[in-house]
Amino acid sequence: MIVDTTTFLLGFGAIFSGLAFHQAILPHEIDFRLKSLSLGYLASFLSLFYLLIRLSIPSPLLLTSLTFLLVNFTLTLSILTHRLFFHRLHNFPGPFLAKVTKWYSVYLSVKNYQHYKEVEKLHQRYGDFVRTGPREISIRKVEALLEIYGAKSGCWKATNYGMNSDDPKGSLHLSRGKTLHTHRRKAWDRAFSISALSSYSSSVSSLTSLLISQLRSQNGAAVDATAWSNYFSFDIMGIIGFGKSWGMLETGEYHDAIKKLHESMFILAVLWQTPWVIRGLDMIPGAARAMKGFRGWCKEQMEEKQKALKDEKFDGKPRNVMEWLLTDEFTMSLPTEAINDDSRLVIIAGSDTISAALAHAIYLMIKNPGVYMKLQRLLDKEFPGGDADFDYTLLSDVPFLDGIINETLRLKPSVPGGLTRITPKEGITIDGTHIPGDVIVSVPIHSIHRDPRYFSQPLEFIPERWTSESPELVKDKRAFVPFSMGSQVCVAKGLAMMELRMALARIALAFDLEFEDGETGRRIEEEVRDTFTLTMPRMGVRFLPRD
């Protein structure tokens, strides 16, 4: 009889606990309480086990396990029922699995490592508003951009951005608090101001010269254009970010730290969807090693820079991004973890984005020889002596070059996915559709850039749509957002454009381009990996000296 009563009480208690626990956590963001929740769970398990022993109930371990199984079952059932039928997003269309679990997004991420293309397929199937996660909506509408990312938007960064740590220990990019972000952004804005940019231009110019001379020395033999784009962008960030080159353009080889970075980016690609898992990465041996390797190296770069600043008697004039940050009062009042994370941000944000854009531009120009010949013709007119005559300030006379860069970033944005934000309590309304509060929303950049409502012939590479030749092919300019917008817009758009202009103009002046034998560009279309920024496959290209 005592066993029967106990079984009844335990069963009742388990069902009650499962339901009560679900109700208790519903209004809260529990994403980053995984550790404390697991510890609480373990403690409850042990307490019940101990109680049953003290009460001399037979088979205490079996009873405790069954009780917790019932708690788990009730909790899961309660969560599923809520997500499917009562959740504030239950009316929005989307795949069944996306409505019940975020692991569906992880599945989409690892399927081909092209999450943005999977989201695009969902939009083709379900329309402009798609429920991509239990409390997540992807919105393929230009009106959503201002509401979600505009300077006056009430939305703010979603939990993904808290993947490494709580504010203020992450980088500027990962700062979720609005006030914190605004304060931190000031030093970054100074580091990329017009006057700072003009002080960086001679470094960009000399590294571009090195790129051109290294490619010229190959005498038309095939090289991996993706790798050379990487060497170029990372070496520039070495100089502009830290005041020292990493020597990849000189050696023609990847630096060890960059290899580690790319290894860790794959893990991030998957876990970006489930940021609460990243915090527990220490428990996954391989994953932790790759992440720590690159982080450790960034920390060393930062410490070296800090030491140099002290030793060299700083003259009050910052010469690179880290000097701007390390001499900023607010930045220096932050925990060391935040500053270390900023050094990681400089490298990742400043390198993978540029190398993907440069490699994609080369790819698109080989695929569209007419466009490339037109660019060469226009540049030859401006610089009759060829590459030796090159002068960056005269490029403003060749708007077609910016057309090529814009069109590359439209068709192949370096950050292709939706940037996740949380809606304010009162929700937001997009083109008549109300999105409730406390929901994760995003606009998929890749999809909106290819939407026929905003661009005519959206899948064609037509740089003229960005010049005075065919402006009618851009139906709604607001839909072009490769650098995002609002208060979290890319801080270094000016630098990015400078690097891309210099590299592409000088490549066009110096070389004709063709794929190596057997290269079709198929890999670039099919094997690019979405790792928040893009990780590009090999692309064999011959740079044939024009002279």
Q: Which amino acid is at 210?
A: L
165 lies in the site for ligand HEM, by CB under 6 A: no
Binders of ligand HEM among residues 188 to 217 (CB under 6 A) are 188
**Distance, CA of 377 to CA of 74 (rounded, Å):** 70
DSSP summary character for residue 360: H
Q: Smallest distance from the beta carbon of 166 to ligand HEM, in angstroms?
A: 17
531 lies in the site for ligand HEM, by CB under 6 A: no
Segment interacting with ligand HEM, rule: CB under 6 A, options 38-46, 69-77, 204-212, 349-357: 349-357
Site map 479..518 versus ligand HEM, x via CB under 6 A: ---xxx---x-xxx--xx----------------------
Q: Smallest distance from the beta carbon of 300 to ligand HEM, in angstroms?
A: 19
Q: Which two tokens stand for residue 202?
A: 């001679």
DSSP summary character for residue 396: G
Mention every residue, 6+ apart, whose C-beta is less than 8 A from residue 395: 382, 401, 501, 505
Q: Smallest distance from the beta carbon of 237 to ligand HEM, in angstroms?
A: 6
**Distance, CA of 110 to CA of 291 (rounded, Å):** 18
Written as one string, the DSSP assignment of 152-219 is T-S-EE-GGGGSS-STTSS-TTT--SHHHHHHHHHHHHHHTSHHHHHHHHHHHHHHHHHHHHHHHTTT
Q: Smallest distance from the beta carbon of 245 to ligand HEM, in angstroms?
A: 16
* CB of 135 or CB of 173, closer to ligand HEM: 173
**Distance, CA of 90 to CA of 440 (rounded, Å):** 14
Q: Smallest distance from the beta carbon of 79 to ligand HEM, in angstroms?
A: 29
Segment interacting with ligand HEM, rule: CB under 6 A, options 218-226, 258-266, 350-358, 360-368: 350-358
**Distance, CA of 336 to CA of 295 (rounded, Å):** 13
Site map 117..156 versus ligand HEM, x via CB under 6 A: ----------------------------------------
18 lies in the site for ligand HEM, by CB under 6 A: no
Of 410, 536, 404, 422, which Cα lies nearest the Cα of 483?
410
Provide the pairing of β-strand 421-422 with 156-157.
Answer: antiparallel
Binding residues for heme: 490
348 lies in the site for ligand HEM, by CB under 6 A: no
Contact 509, 387 (CB under 8 A): yes
Binding residues: 490
159 lies in the site for ligand HEM, by CB under 6 A: no
**Distance, CA of 61 to CA of 57 (rounded, Å):** 10
* CB of 133 or CB of 170, closer to ligand HEM: 170
Residue from 100, 108, 271, 419 touching ligand HEM (CB under 6 A): that is 419
Q: Smallest distance from the beta carbon of 46 to ligand HEM, in angstroms?
A: 42
Q: 247: left (phi > 0), else alpha (psi -120 to 50), else beta? A: left
Tokens 């030859």 found at: 380
- In 192-311, which ranges are continuous DSSP H helix? 194-216, 225-237, 248-251, 256-271, 275-278, 285-311
Residue from 414, 423, 447, 531 touching ligand HEM (CB under 6 A): that is 414
**Distance, CA of 347 to CA of 483 (rounded, Å):** 17
Q: Smallest distance from the beta carbon of 389 to ligand HEM, in angstroms?
A: 26
* CB of 199 or CB of 218, closer to ligand HEM: 199
Q: Smallest distance from the beta carbon of 25 to ligand HEM, in angstroms?
A: 27
415 lies in the site for ligand HEM, by CB under 6 A: yes
Which residues contact ligand HEM (rule: CB under 6 A)?
Answer: 172-173, 185, 188, 345-346, 349-350, 353-354, 357, 409, 414-415, 419, 482-484, 488, 490-492, 495-496
